[in-house]
C-alpha cells in the first residue's frame, strides 16, 4: 500500500497553526494530526524526556500510512529531529526552525528578539543556528513558556493572558527592535494579542511558511481531499482540535 498521508505532530495544539497553513496550500493531500496534550508542555521537560515522547509519537504515526512527518513543534525538533532522521532514513521528517534566517533577510536596523520555550532556548540547535548566521550580536532571547498553557486551555483573551504579556513585553524598548521571532508554534495563536504591546514597525515572524515550503519540496502531489485524522495522545478524538482550527480561520 502506498503511503499517502502527511502527519503533523506537536506536544499539543500548537502544531495546528502549521497544519492550518498546509491545509491552505496543499489541497490534494490527506493529513493526520497527533497532539500529545496529555504530556504538554514539553518546554519544561529534559531533552531525554522530550526525545522519548517524540520517538513514541513518530513510531505511532509511521504505522498510519504516512509519506512524510512534520514535527510541528520547535521543542521536539530541537530535541529529536537528528536522531529521528537516523532511525527513519527513508521517511521525510520535516522539523520546525525559528524564523531567524528570515529575520536576518529583512533586517535593516534594530535588534531581533527570539521568543521560545525554556527547552528550545537551552537547546544546542537554536544557538548553533544563531551562530551559523553570524547573528550573535543582533539577537536577544525571551522565554514565553506560559503561552503554551494559555493556548492549551483555549485562553486567548483572558485578563491573566494580557497581564502575562504585559509583564514580559513592556520592559523592552521596541524602538530598538526590527522583529520578534515566534519560536514555538503555540505562540502563533497570539499574534493579535502580541501586537497590543508591540508597535507595527516591528515584524512578527514565525516558521510555519518555511516549514510548509520545505514539506512541499520533499513530497509528490497527492490525490487526497484535505481529510484529517485527529489523535490525542494515541486516542482518536475527531472533535477536540476543531475549535482551535476554527479560531485560526477567524484570525
Is residue 184 annotated as part of the catalytic site, yes or no?
Answer: yes
Asked if residue 35 lies in contact with residue 174, where contact means CB atoms within 8 angstroms, the answer is no
Of the candidates 74, 155, 171, the one whose C-alpha atom is nearest the C-alpha of residue 118 is 74
Q: Which three cell numbers stand for residue 19?
A: 497544519
> From the candidates 21, 53, 66, 73, which is the catalytic residue?
73
> From the candidates 181, 184, 194, 228, which is the catalytic residue?
184
Q: Which three cell numbers stand for residue 15?
A: 502544531
**Cell 498546509 sits on residue:** 22
Is residue 66 annotated as part of the catalytic site, yes or no?
Answer: no
Rounded distance, CA 124 to CA 17, Å?
25
- Alpha-helix residue ranges (DSSP H) falling in 32-158: 47-61, 74-87, 100-106, 118-122, 124-132, 146-152
User: Which positions are catalytic?
Assistant: 73, 184
Amino acid at each position: 500500500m502506498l503511503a499517502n498521508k502527511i502527519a503533523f505532530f506537536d506536544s499539543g495544539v500548537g502544531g495546528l497553526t502549521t497544519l492550518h497553513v498546509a491545509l491552505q496550500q496543499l489541497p490534494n493531500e490527506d493529513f493526520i494530526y497527533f497532539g500529545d496534550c496529555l504530556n504538554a508542555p514539553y518546554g519544561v521537560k529534559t531533552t531525554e524526556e522530550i526525545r522519548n515522547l517524540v520517538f513514541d509519537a513518530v513510531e505511532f504515526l509511521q504505522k498510519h500510512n504516512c509519506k512524510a512527518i512534520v514535527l510541528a513543534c520547535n521543542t521536539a525538533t530541537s530535541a529529536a529531529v537528528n536522531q529521528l532522521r537516523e532511525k527513519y532514513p527513508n521517511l521525510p521528517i520535516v522539523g520546525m526552525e525559528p524564523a531567524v534566517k528570515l529575520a536576518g533577510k529583512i533586517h535593516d536596523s534594530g535588534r531581533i528578539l527570539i521568543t521560545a520555550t525554556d527547552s528550545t532556548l537551552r537547546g544546542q540547535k537554536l544557538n548553533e543556528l544563531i551562530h551559523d548566521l553570524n547573528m550573535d550580536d543582533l539577537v536577544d532571547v525571551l522565554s514565553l513558556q506560559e503561552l503554551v498553557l494559555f493556548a492549551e486551555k483555549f485562553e486567548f483573551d483572558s485578563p491573566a493572558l494580557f497581564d502575562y504579556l504585559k509583564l514580559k513585553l513592556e520592559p523592552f524598548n521596541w524602538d530598538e527592535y526590527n522583529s520578534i521571532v515566534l519560536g514555538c508554534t503555540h505562540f502563533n495563536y497570539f499574534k493579535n494579542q502580541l501586537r497590543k504591546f508591540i508597535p507595527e514597525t516591528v515584524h512578527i515572524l514565525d516558521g510555519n511558511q518555511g516549514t510548509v515550503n520545505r514539506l512541499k519540496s520533499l513530497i509528490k502531489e497527492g490525490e487526497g481531499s484535505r481529510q484529517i485524522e485527529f489523535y490525542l495522545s494515541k486516542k482518536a478524538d475527531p472533535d477536540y482540535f476543531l475549535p482551535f482550527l476554527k479560531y485560526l480561520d477567524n484570525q
